[in-house]
Amino acid sequence: MTAEVINGKELAQELRQNMKEEVKKLNEGGINPHLSVILVGNNPASRSYVKGKEKASAEVGIQSELIELEDSITEDYLLEVIEELNQNPSVHGILVQLPLPEHIEEQHVIEAIAPEKDVDGFHPVNIGRMMTGQDTFLPCTPFGIIKMLQSKNISIEGKHVVVVGRSNIVGKPVGQLLLNEHATVTYCHSRTKDLMKYTQSADIIIAAVGKANFIGEEHVKNGAVVIDVGINRLNDGSLTGDVDFDAAKGKASFITPVPKGVGPMTITMLLYNTIKAAKGLS
Protein backbone atom coordinates (compact mmCIF):
# COMPACT_ATOMS: atom_id res chain seq x y z
CA MET A 1 0.00 0.00 0.00
CA THR A 2 1.20 3.49 -0.80
CA ALA A 3 -0.78 6.35 0.68
CA GLU A 4 -2.64 8.87 -1.45
CA VAL A 5 -1.15 12.30 -0.78
CA ILE A 6 -3.58 15.05 0.21
CA ASN A 7 -2.08 18.08 -1.52
CA GLY A 8 -3.02 21.12 0.55
CA LYS A 9 -1.59 23.54 -1.98
CA GLU A 10 -3.88 22.29 -4.76
CA LEU A 11 -6.96 22.24 -2.50
CA ALA A 12 -6.13 25.75 -1.27
CA GLN A 13 -5.94 27.03 -4.86
CA GLU A 14 -9.31 25.48 -5.64
CA LEU A 15 -10.95 27.06 -2.57
CA ARG A 16 -9.31 30.44 -3.24
CA GLN A 17 -10.73 30.47 -6.75
CA ASN A 18 -14.22 30.13 -5.27
CA MET A 19 -13.41 32.87 -2.74
CA LYS A 20 -12.27 35.17 -5.53
CA GLU A 21 -15.73 34.85 -7.12
CA GLU A 22 -17.40 35.46 -3.76
CA VAL A 23 -15.32 38.60 -3.07
CA LYS A 24 -16.15 39.89 -6.55
CA LYS A 25 -19.89 39.56 -5.78
CA LEU A 26 -19.43 41.28 -2.41
CA ASN A 27 -17.54 44.13 -4.13
CA GLU A 28 -20.45 44.55 -6.55
CA GLY A 29 -22.73 44.93 -3.52
CA GLY A 30 -20.48 47.58 -2.00
CA ILE A 31 -18.72 45.29 0.50
CA ASN A 32 -14.91 45.25 0.41
CA PRO A 33 -13.50 42.61 2.78
CA HIS A 34 -10.64 44.18 4.74
CA LEU A 35 -8.04 42.38 6.88
CA SER A 36 -5.70 44.27 9.23
CA VAL A 37 -2.56 42.40 10.30
CA ILE A 38 -0.40 43.65 13.17
CA LEU A 39 3.25 42.61 13.22
CA VAL A 40 5.25 43.46 16.35
CA GLY A 41 9.03 43.33 15.95
CA ASN A 42 11.05 41.72 13.19
CA ASN A 43 10.84 37.96 13.73
CA PRO A 44 11.90 36.50 10.31
CA ALA A 45 9.43 33.58 10.50
CA SER A 46 6.57 35.93 11.44
CA ARG A 47 7.51 38.30 8.62
CA SER A 48 7.47 35.39 6.18
CA TYR A 49 4.01 34.26 7.39
CA VAL A 50 2.68 37.81 7.12
CA LYS A 51 4.03 38.14 3.58
CA GLY A 52 2.22 34.91 2.65
CA LYS A 53 -1.02 36.26 4.11
CA GLU A 54 -0.68 39.53 2.18
CA LYS A 55 -0.06 37.68 -1.08
CA ALA A 56 -3.00 35.31 -0.53
CA SER A 57 -5.33 38.20 0.36
CA ALA A 58 -4.41 40.03 -2.85
CA GLU A 59 -4.98 36.83 -4.81
CA VAL A 60 -8.65 36.64 -3.80
CA GLY A 61 -9.29 40.40 -3.74
CA ILE A 62 -9.28 40.99 0.03
CA GLN A 63 -7.86 44.36 1.10
CA SER A 64 -4.92 43.65 3.38
CA GLU A 65 -3.21 46.22 5.58
CA LEU A 66 0.00 45.56 7.51
CA ILE A 67 0.60 47.55 10.69
CA GLU A 68 4.24 47.20 11.73
CA LEU A 69 5.19 48.06 15.31
CA GLU A 70 8.56 48.09 17.10
CA ASP A 71 9.12 45.25 19.55
CA SER A 72 9.78 47.89 22.25
CA ILE A 73 6.13 49.07 22.29
CA THR A 74 4.13 48.65 25.49
CA GLU A 75 1.24 46.24 25.83
CA ASP A 76 -1.08 49.20 26.47
CA TYR A 77 -0.07 50.80 23.18
CA LEU A 78 -0.78 47.57 21.27
CA LEU A 79 -4.19 47.29 22.95
CA GLU A 80 -4.97 50.87 21.88
CA VAL A 81 -4.10 50.02 18.25
CA ILE A 82 -6.40 46.99 18.42
CA GLU A 83 -9.25 49.06 19.91
CA GLU A 84 -8.97 51.58 17.05
CA LEU A 85 -9.34 48.72 14.57
CA ASN A 86 -12.28 47.31 16.58
CA GLN A 87 -14.02 50.68 16.20
CA ASN A 88 -13.22 51.06 12.49
CA PRO A 89 -16.26 49.87 10.49
CA SER A 90 -14.21 49.37 7.29
CA VAL A 91 -12.02 46.73 9.02
CA HIS A 92 -13.63 43.27 9.03
CA GLY A 93 -10.80 41.07 10.32
CA ILE A 94 -7.98 41.70 12.81
CA LEU A 95 -5.00 39.39 13.17
CA VAL A 96 -2.07 39.91 15.55
CA GLN A 97 0.84 37.77 14.38
CA LEU A 98 2.18 35.54 17.16
CA PRO A 99 4.54 35.12 18.94
CA LEU A 100 4.75 38.51 20.65
CA PRO A 101 7.68 39.98 22.61
CA GLU A 102 7.96 38.52 26.13
CA HIS A 103 6.77 41.69 27.90
CA ILE A 104 3.39 41.50 26.14
CA GLU A 105 0.82 39.01 27.44
CA GLU A 106 -0.57 37.13 24.42
CA GLN A 107 -3.87 36.29 26.11
CA HIS A 108 -4.57 39.98 26.86
CA VAL A 109 -4.03 40.75 23.17
CA ILE A 110 -6.21 37.88 21.93
CA GLU A 111 -9.04 38.92 24.27
CA ALA A 112 -8.78 42.57 23.16
CA ILE A 113 -9.85 41.75 19.60
CA ALA A 114 -13.61 42.07 19.09
CA PRO A 115 -14.99 38.51 18.72
CA GLU A 116 -16.76 39.49 15.47
CA LYS A 117 -13.39 40.54 13.97
CA ASP A 118 -11.37 37.64 15.41
CA VAL A 119 -10.57 35.87 12.13
CA ASP A 120 -7.90 33.72 13.83
CA GLY A 121 -10.66 32.13 15.93
CA PHE A 122 -8.69 32.39 19.20
CA HIS A 123 -10.96 34.67 21.26
CA PRO A 124 -12.50 32.81 24.26
CA VAL A 125 -15.98 33.71 22.99
CA ASN A 126 -15.30 32.03 19.63
CA ILE A 127 -13.55 29.07 21.28
CA GLY A 128 -16.62 28.66 23.52
CA ARG A 129 -18.94 28.74 20.52
CA MET A 130 -16.79 26.14 18.77
CA MET A 131 -16.89 23.92 21.88
CA THR A 132 -20.68 24.04 21.91
CA GLY A 133 -21.03 23.52 18.15
CA GLN A 134 -22.29 27.02 17.34
CA ASP A 135 -21.56 28.98 14.17
CA THR A 136 -18.37 30.97 14.72
CA PHE A 137 -14.89 31.72 13.40
CA LEU A 138 -12.99 28.43 13.62
CA PRO A 139 -9.21 28.38 14.27
CA CYS A 140 -7.60 28.33 10.83
CA THR A 141 -5.29 25.30 10.99
CA PRO A 142 -7.86 22.93 12.58
CA PHE A 143 -10.52 24.19 10.15
CA GLY A 144 -8.14 23.54 7.25
CA ILE A 145 -7.55 19.98 8.46
CA ILE A 146 -11.30 19.27 8.48
CA LYS A 147 -11.56 20.64 4.91
CA MET A 148 -8.68 18.38 3.81
CA LEU A 149 -10.37 15.28 5.22
CA GLN A 150 -13.69 16.26 3.63
CA SER A 151 -12.02 16.90 0.26
CA LYS A 152 -11.14 13.19 0.06
CA ASN A 153 -14.49 12.04 1.47
CA ILE A 154 -12.68 10.55 4.45
CA SER A 155 -15.27 9.44 6.95
CA ILE A 156 -14.84 11.03 10.40
CA GLU A 157 -18.00 9.86 12.16
CA GLY A 158 -17.33 6.98 14.55
CA LYS A 159 -13.61 6.92 13.75
CA HIS A 160 -10.90 6.88 16.42
CA VAL A 161 -8.75 10.00 16.07
CA VAL A 162 -5.51 10.39 18.01
CA VAL A 163 -4.27 13.97 18.31
CA VAL A 164 -0.59 14.14 19.25
CA GLY A 165 -0.10 17.61 20.74
CA ARG A 166 -2.30 19.81 22.91
CA SER A 167 -1.57 23.40 21.91
CA ASN A 168 -4.36 25.98 22.09
CA ILE A 169 -3.75 26.82 18.42
CA VAL A 170 -3.95 23.32 16.89
CA GLY A 171 -4.12 20.30 19.19
CA LYS A 172 -7.04 21.19 21.46
CA PRO A 173 -9.28 22.83 18.82
CA VAL A 174 -8.74 20.19 16.12
CA GLY A 175 -9.79 17.51 18.62
CA GLN A 176 -12.93 19.48 19.41
CA LEU A 177 -13.82 19.98 15.73
CA LEU A 178 -13.40 16.25 15.12
CA LEU A 179 -15.56 15.53 18.17
CA ASN A 180 -18.17 17.88 16.68
CA GLU A 181 -18.01 15.64 13.57
CA HIS A 182 -18.78 12.60 15.81
CA ALA A 183 -15.27 11.13 16.01
CA THR A 184 -13.95 9.45 19.14
CA VAL A 185 -10.95 11.57 20.11
CA THR A 186 -7.88 10.72 22.19
CA TYR A 187 -5.39 13.47 23.08
CA CYS A 188 -1.75 12.49 23.54
CA HIS A 189 1.17 14.72 24.51
CA SER A 190 4.71 14.81 25.89
CA ARG A 191 3.69 13.11 29.14
CA THR A 192 1.63 10.34 27.56
CA LYS A 193 3.00 6.93 28.50
CA ASP A 194 3.27 4.37 25.71
CA LEU A 195 2.23 6.68 22.86
CA MET A 196 2.37 3.84 20.35
CA LYS A 197 -0.42 2.00 22.15
CA TYR A 198 -2.75 4.87 21.21
CA THR A 199 -1.50 5.74 17.72
CA GLN A 200 -1.55 2.11 16.57
CA SER A 201 -5.29 1.97 17.23
CA ALA A 202 -6.00 5.27 15.43
CA ASP A 203 -8.02 5.50 12.24
CA ILE A 204 -6.76 9.09 11.90
CA ILE A 205 -3.56 10.53 13.40
CA ILE A 206 -3.12 14.30 13.74
CA ALA A 207 0.56 15.01 14.45
CA ALA A 208 1.00 18.48 15.97
CA VAL A 209 3.85 18.09 18.41
CA GLY A 210 6.60 20.22 16.83
CA LYS A 211 9.30 17.52 16.68
CA ALA A 212 10.83 16.46 13.36
CA ASN A 213 9.91 12.92 12.23
CA PHE A 214 8.44 12.16 15.66
CA ILE A 215 5.77 9.83 14.24
CA GLY A 216 7.33 6.84 12.49
CA GLU A 217 6.06 3.82 10.59
CA GLU A 218 5.74 1.90 13.87
CA HIS A 219 3.12 4.37 15.13
CA VAL A 220 0.78 3.90 12.17
CA LYS A 221 -1.67 1.05 11.65
CA ASN A 222 -2.35 -0.18 8.12
CA GLY A 223 -4.83 2.05 6.33
CA ALA A 224 -4.75 4.93 8.81
CA VAL A 225 -5.04 8.56 7.69
CA VAL A 226 -2.06 10.68 8.74
CA ILE A 227 -2.29 14.48 8.96
CA ASP A 228 1.04 16.20 9.61
CA VAL A 229 0.79 19.70 11.08
CA GLY A 230 4.47 20.08 11.97
CA ILE A 231 6.91 22.38 10.19
CA ASN A 232 10.48 21.77 11.31
CA ARG A 233 13.65 23.08 9.67
CA LEU A 234 16.53 20.61 9.57
CA ASN A 235 20.24 21.47 9.75
CA ASP A 236 20.53 21.34 5.95
CA GLY A 237 17.79 24.00 5.66
CA SER A 238 15.10 21.63 4.36
CA LEU A 239 11.62 21.43 5.88
CA THR A 240 10.11 18.31 7.38
CA GLY A 241 6.99 17.57 9.38
CA ASP A 242 6.34 15.73 12.63
CA VAL A 243 5.84 12.53 10.61
CA ASP A 244 8.52 10.46 8.89
CA PHE A 245 6.71 10.82 5.56
CA ASP A 246 8.61 8.21 3.53
CA ALA A 247 8.20 5.57 6.24
CA ALA A 248 4.56 6.28 7.11
CA LYS A 249 3.27 6.52 3.53
CA GLY A 250 3.84 2.78 3.09
CA LYS A 251 1.18 2.00 5.71
CA ALA A 252 -1.23 4.94 5.58
CA SER A 253 -4.19 5.22 3.21
CA PHE A 254 -3.94 9.03 3.04
CA ILE A 255 -1.14 11.32 4.19
CA THR A 256 -0.31 15.04 4.04
CA PRO A 257 3.14 16.22 2.93
CA VAL A 258 5.36 18.98 4.35
CA PRO A 259 5.54 21.44 2.67
CA LYS A 260 2.37 21.74 0.48
CA GLY A 261 0.20 20.09 3.09
CA VAL A 262 -1.62 21.76 5.98
CA GLY A 263 0.28 25.08 5.69
CA PRO A 264 -1.47 26.52 2.60
CA MET A 265 -4.84 25.55 4.10
CA THR A 266 -4.21 27.62 7.24
CA ILE A 267 -3.92 30.85 5.25
CA THR A 268 -6.87 29.85 3.06
CA MET A 269 -9.17 29.44 6.06
CA LEU A 270 -8.01 32.84 7.34
CA LEU A 271 -9.28 34.29 4.05
CA TYR A 272 -12.52 32.32 4.48
CA ASN A 273 -13.00 33.79 7.96
CA THR A 274 -12.29 37.32 6.71
CA ILE A 275 -14.96 36.98 4.01
CA LYS A 276 -17.35 35.55 6.61
CA ALA A 277 -16.67 38.55 8.86
CA ALA A 278 -17.30 40.97 5.99
CA LYS A 279 -20.64 39.32 5.25
CA GLY A 280 -21.60 39.42 8.93
CA LEU A 281 -20.61 43.01 9.63
CA SER A 282 -21.51 44.87 6.46
Q: What CATH number has the domain bearing residue 66?
A: 3.40.50.10860
My answer on whether 258 and 205 are in the same domain is yes
My answer on whether 169 and 202 are in the same domain is yes
Residue numbers of the domain that contains 181: 139-263
My answer on whether 159 and 239 are in the same domain is yes
Residue 14 lies in a domain: no
Q: Which pLDDT score is estimated for 30?
A: 96
Rounded to 5°, angle at Cα 225 from 223 and 227: 155
Smallest CA-to-CA distance from 92 within 33, 25, 26, 27 is with 33
Residue 153 lies in a domain: yes
- Report the 10 Å Cβ neighbour count for 251: 19
d(CA 121, CA 106): 14
Amino acid found at 188: C
Residue 248 lies in a domain: yes
My answer on whether 164 and 219 are in the same domain is yes
d(CA 248, CA 2): 9
**pTM (two decimals):** 0.95
Residue ranges at the known binding site for NADP(+): 165-167, 231
My answer on whether 154 and 197 are in the same domain is yes
Q: Tell me the catalytic residues.
A: 53, 97, 120
Q: Which residues does 100 contact at the CB level (< 8 Å), separation at least 6?
A: 40, 41, 78, 106, 109
Smallest CA-to-CA distance from 20 within 275, 280, 276 is with 275
Residue 156 lies in a domain: yes
My answer on whether 52 and 100 are in the same domain is yes
Domain count, the chain: 2
Residue 77 lies in a domain: yes
My answer on whether 145 and 78 are in the same domain is no
Query: Long-range contacts: 215-220, Cβ < 8 Å, 24+?
Result: 215/164, 215/242, 215/243, 215/244, 215/248, 216/244, 216/247, 216/248, 217/244, 217/247, 217/248, 217/250, 217/251, 219/195, 219/248, 220/248, 220/251, 220/252
Q: Which pLDDT score is estimated for 237?
A: 85
Residue 13 lies in a domain: no
pLDDT tens-place values along the chain, 282 residues long: 789 999 999 999 999 999 999 999 999 999 999 999 999 999 998 999 999 999 999 999 999 999 999 999 999 999 999 999 999 999 999 999 999 999 999 999 999 999 999 999 999 999 999 999 999 999 999 999 999 999 999 999 999 999 999 999 999 999 999 999 999 999 999 899 999 999 999 999 999 999 999 999 999 999 999 999 999 988 998 999 999 999 999 999 999 999 999 999 999 999 999 999 999 853
Residue ranges at the known binding site: 165-167, 231
My answer on whether 166 and 84 are in the same domain is no
My answer on whether 95 and 208 are in the same domain is no
Residue 205 lies in a domain: yes
Q: Which pLDDT score is estimated for 243?
A: 98
Q: Are 46 and 34 in contact (CB under 8 A)?
A: no
My answer on whether 167 and 104 are in the same domain is no
My answer on whether 257 and 176 are in the same domain is yes
Final residue belonging to a domain, choices 81, 114, 147: 114
Residue 120 lies in a domain: no
My answer on whether 155 and 235 are in the same domain is yes
